[in-house]
C-alpha cells in the first residue's frame, strides 16, 4: 500500500501539463507585455523590480549577463518598437516558458529579428522574470544579414581556404559554420 501511495504522489507531483489554463496564459501574456513595455521605454526602475535577482540572459549577440550587468547597459532598446509572432507558452508547476519571434524596429527600420525564450517563475506570490535567451534570425532567408555574411565570406575567401573551418550554404538559405580540424 505505501508503494502505491508513493507512486500516486510522484505522478501527481511531477506530471504537469505544459499547456497552462486560459487565465494563467492571460496573466503570462500580460507579464510579457509589461516586460517589453519596460524594456522598450527604458524604464530601469520598473526593470529592477521585474527582473529577478537571479536573472540571466544570453543575448542574440552572444553575450551572457546577470541582472547587475544587464542593468548597467539597460536602455539600449529605448524608443524601439516590436512585433511578436509564433508565441507559445508552456508551464511546469511554478515555472513558465514563453517562446516566440520578435522584430525590433527603430524609426520603422528593422534593426533586429530574433527567436526568444523567456523564463518566468512564480514565487513569493508573484511571477518573476528570471531568464531571457535570444537567437539572431538575421541569417534566415535572403535578408540583409545573410547578404552581409555572404559579403564577408566572399571578401575573406582566400583566407577561408587556408582556415581549418568550412562555411557552407544550406539549400534552404541558412548559413552554418562547420568546425573542421
Task: Check whether residue 120 and residue 87 sit in a common domain.
Answer: yes
57 and 122: one domain?
Answer: yes
Q: Which of 108, 112, 152 is nearest to 135 (CA)?
A: 112
Domain count for the chain:
2
Query: Are 51 and 90 found together in one domain?
Result: yes
Same domain, residue pair 22 and 99: yes
pLDDT at 166: 40
In a domain, 66, yes or no: yes
110 within some domain: yes
Which of 47, 134, 124 is closest to 82 using CA atoms?
Answer: 134
- CA distances to 135, 140, 155, 171 from 178, in Å: 18, 17, 19, 15
103 and 152 part of one domain: no
Same domain, residue pair 38 and 84: yes
114 lies in the same domain as 27: yes
Instruction: Quote the domain boundaries for residue 73.
Output: 14-136
Question: Are residue 127 and residue 40 in the same domain, yes or no?
Answer: yes
The CATH number of whichever domain residue 96 belongs to comes to 3.10.450.50
Please state, in angstroms and as integers, the Cα–Cα distance from residue 69 to each residue in 48, 61, 72, 135, following that order: 12, 15, 5, 19
* Helices marked H in the chain: 2-14, 22-41, 44-50, 67-72, 144-155, 157-162
- pTM value? 0.68
Q: What is the pLDDT of residue 43?
A: 97
- Residue 80 sits in the same domain as residue 169: no
Same-domain pairing of 150 and 131: no
Q: How many CB atoms lie within 10 A of CB 34?
A: 15
- Mean pLDDT per block of 10 residues along the chain (181 residues) reads 44 59 94 96 96 95 94 91 95 96 92 94 96 84 57 52 40 38 34
Same domain, 128 and 149: no
The answer on 107 and 65 residing in a single domain is yes
pLDDT of residue 96: 97
Rounded-to-integer distance, Cα 52 and Cα 64, Å: 16
pLDDT of residue 19: 85
Contacts of 105 (CB under 8 A, 6+ apart): 80, 81, 82, 83, 111
Amino acid at each position: 500500500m505505501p508503494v502505491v501511495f508513493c507512486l500516486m504522489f510522484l505522478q501527481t507531483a511531477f506530471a504537469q501539463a505544459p499547456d497552462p489554463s486560459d487565465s494563467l496564459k492571460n496573466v503570462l501574456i500580460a507579464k510579457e507585455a509589461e516586460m517589453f513595455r519596460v524594456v522598450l521605454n527604458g524604464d530601469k526602475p520598473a526593470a529592477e523590480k521585474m527582473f529577478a535577482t537571479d536573472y540571466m540572459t544570453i543575448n542574440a549577440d552572444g553575450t551572457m549577463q546577470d541582472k547587475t550587468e544587464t542593468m548597467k547597459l539597460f536602455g539600449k532598446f529605448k524608443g524601439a518598437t516590436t512585433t511578436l509572432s509564433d508565441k507559445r507558452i508552456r508551464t511546469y508547476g511554478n515555472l513558465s516558458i514563453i517562446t516566440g519571434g520578435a522584430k525590433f524596429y527603430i524609426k520603422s527600420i528593422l534593426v533586429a529579428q530574433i527567436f526568444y525564450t523567456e523564463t518566468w517563475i512564480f514565487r513569493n506570490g508573484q511571477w518573476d522574470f528570471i531568464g531571457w535567451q535570444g537567437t539572431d534570425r538575421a541569417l534566415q532567408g535572403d535578408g540583409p544579414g545573410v547578404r552581409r555574411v555572404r559579403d564577408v565570406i566572399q571578401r575573406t575567401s582566400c583566407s577561408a581556404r587556408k582556415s581549418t573551418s568550412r562555411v557552407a550554404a544550406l539549400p534552404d538559405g541558412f548559413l552554418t559554420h562547420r568546425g573542421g580540424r
